[in-house]
Amino acid sequence: MTLSELGRGDLAADFSPPPGGAPRRSLRPLILRLHFYAGILIAPFLVVATISGGLYALAPSLEKVVYRDYLHVDSTGPAAPVADQVRAAQLVQPDLTLNAVRPAAQPGDTTRVLFDDPSLGESERRAVFVDPVTATPRGDLVVYGSSSALPMRTWISQLHRHLHLGEPGRIYSELAASWLWVVALGGCYLWFVRHRTNRARNGSAARLWTLDRSTRGRARTMNWHGVVGIWLAVGLVFLSATGLTWSRFAGENIGELRTALSWTTPTVDTTLGGGHEGHGGMAATAGAEPAQMQARIDELDGVLALAARNGVSNAVEASIPTDVHTAFTVAETRQPWQFATDTVVIDGASGTVTDESRFADWPLAAKLTTWGIGLHMGILFGLANQIALALLAVLLVTVIVRGYLMWWRRRPVRSGRPIGHRPVRSGRPIGHRPVRSGRVVGRPPVRGGLRRIGPARLAGVIVATVLVGWFVPLLGLSLLGFLAVDLAVGHWRARSAVTP
């Protein structure tokens, strides 16, 4: 590689104006500068989100190993009634309010009985694990969210979401998700433009989708960065889009948009008619609450059997209402290779289905959202899904690291002193070597990208930026910050250049 290539780099090769002095109309300089600054300044957030996300993708399989004693039993034989299993769990947590139960879905699995615990955080419940054959408790753990994640997966999830810093920490993950798709699509554009230019110069020798192993130095680093980047682009855009649905600010806008377009997940009505005086002749009074709860527990096996006859079976969670005016809700939980999750609402006293939500009737957007969440969490396709996400995370880290390496290798060099003017070692003169200048990193791409795109494109860029910045606020605010700093630095350098 020549000294000029080290000083300016391949990405900056097209910045000189064409013959005649008229600038070429191209988005490339603008996107290159945006890609450069986003890569340099946002990449640390992306690295943290990528590593923690890769760990989270593997967490469903890891927790099966770490918590095997809670999740699996060696008992064989017919399962005890679910009501008996729930009562056994109540003996472990007699002071907590019963919330729901997840009966064992397969032989060898434990039943998970869930309790509301006021000492826990938001979306957390206490789970007691029960041997379904012997109705013997195996222990209790705190679980989190609708996926009922166990403590290890919860810890990794919170690291990924907010670095264990609570609500303020969510800014980091939203910033990473907001910029990920911009960096990925911008990199694809730059790589395709570079390929088209090289193909025009070198013919069929230019490569787009495969690594060029004949290259060396910075060119080889760029080749890996570009080729691997375009292979990952679809996955990165998907992770960015699904990740933003959980975010604080953009997530609210996405929720409002889904509501306005009727794309939300359908809900069910669990309210029963007011004509009931109570199940089993009991009045719905505070004093009768323990007896009411025991009556609801007695109804569990019948409710689960009715749900199974209506196509809601296997891995389900059945809510256990605490008053006589609320029905049971039996919902299928997210499981590998399960693409539809149905829900039925059942009046346990009369043994009738009062409402239902069939996945087949959901709006397409709601279905896509559910599938996207399962895919993002590493659940939808089981172990294959988890391995794919972990591999994507590893490759993304290599792309980011090589991006920084490209930046470092673009630092300027100056020629060393000629042979004869250098010291002599072992009777031989030291050869002519490049000597690094005072600058330790490469210069950013040159300014003036907006002036190169023409008035019509400039108007389109401004409108698109405003709209995207409003919908994804952290992207818009950080972009304004980049612009303000860039203008300030440019102004300072311009003044320094004219100052005598």
pLDDT at residue 430 is higher than 50:
no
Helices and strands per DSSP (H, E), number in the chain: 14, 12
Helix (H, G, I), strand (E, B) or coil at 320: coil
CA end-to-end span of the chain? 37
Least confident of 2-6, 204-208, 447-451: 2-6
Q: Using an 8 Å Cβ cutoff, are 156 and 174 in contact?
A: no
Q: Quote the Cα angle for 110-318-243, to 5°.
A: 90
Both structure tokens of 144: 């989190």
Which of 472, 468, 485, 481 minimizes the C-alpha distance to 176? 472
CATH ID of 72-149, from 3.90.1150, 3.10.450, 1.10.3470, 1.10.1760? 3.10.450
Q: Left (φ > 0), alpha (ψ -120 to 50) or beta: where does 280 sit?
A: left
Q: Using an 8 Å Cβ cutoff, are 271 and 261 in contact?
A: no
CB-based contacts of 146-149 (< 8 A; 24+ apart in sequence): 146/333, 146/334, 147/333, 147/334, 147/377, 147/379, 148/102, 148/112, 148/114, 148/317, 148/333, 149/59, 149/63
Instruction: Please give the Cα distance from 28 to 48 (Å, whole number).
Output: 29
**pLDDT category of residue 441 using cuts at 50, 70 and 90:** low
pLDDT at 460 (0 to 100): 85
At 188-219, the pLDDT tens digits run: 999 999 988 888 887 766 688 988 888 888 88
Which of the two residues, 400 and 284, has the higher pLDDT score? Answer: 400
pLDDT at 301 (0 to 100): 97
CB-CB neighbours of 467 under 10 Å: 11
CB-CB neighbours of 403 under 10 Å: 21
Residues 480, 482, 483, 488: is their CA dihedral positive or negative? Answer: positive
Q: Alpha-carbon Rg of the chain, whole angstroms?
A: 30
At 352-371, the pLDDT tens digits run: 999 999 999 999 999 999 99
**pLDDT category of residue 291 using cuts at 50, 70 and 90:** confident
Cβ-based neighbours of 94, under 8 Å, separated by 6 or more: none
Instruction: Please give the Cα distance from 188 to 352 (Å, whole number).
Output: 56
Beta bridge partners of 318: 101, 330
Q: Which H or E run contains 164? A: none
- Residue 72 to residues 112, 121, 131, 246: CA-CA distances in angstroms? 11, 27, 8, 32
Work out whether strand 352-357 and strand 428-429 pair parallel, antiparallel, or are unpaired: unpaired
Q: Using an 8 Å Cβ cutoff, are 51 and 397 in contact?
A: yes
CB-based contacts of 489-496 (< 8 A; 24+ apart in sequence): 490/447
Instruction: Please give the Cα distance from 379 to 483 (Å, whole number).
Output: 40
Q: At what angle do helices 217-244 and 364-376 cross, to 10 degrees?
A: 130
For the whole prediction, is pTM greater than 0.75? yes
Which of 171, 173, 168 minimizes the C-alpha distance to 157? 173
At 145-189, the pLDDT tens digits run: 989 999 999 999 999 999 999 888 999 999 999 999 999 999 999
Both structure tokens of 440: 């330790």
pLDDT at 481 (0 to 100): 85
Instruction: Please give the Cα distance from 435 to 422 (Å, whole number).
Output: 12
Cβ-based neighbours of 438, under 8 Å, separated by 6 or more: none
Give the start-to-end residue ranges of the domains of the chain: 1-8+26-67+164-260+385-413+435-455, 72-149, 266-272+281-361
pLDDT at residue 321 is higher than 90:
yes
Q: At what angle do helices 28-66 and 382-409 cross, to 10 degrees?
A: 140
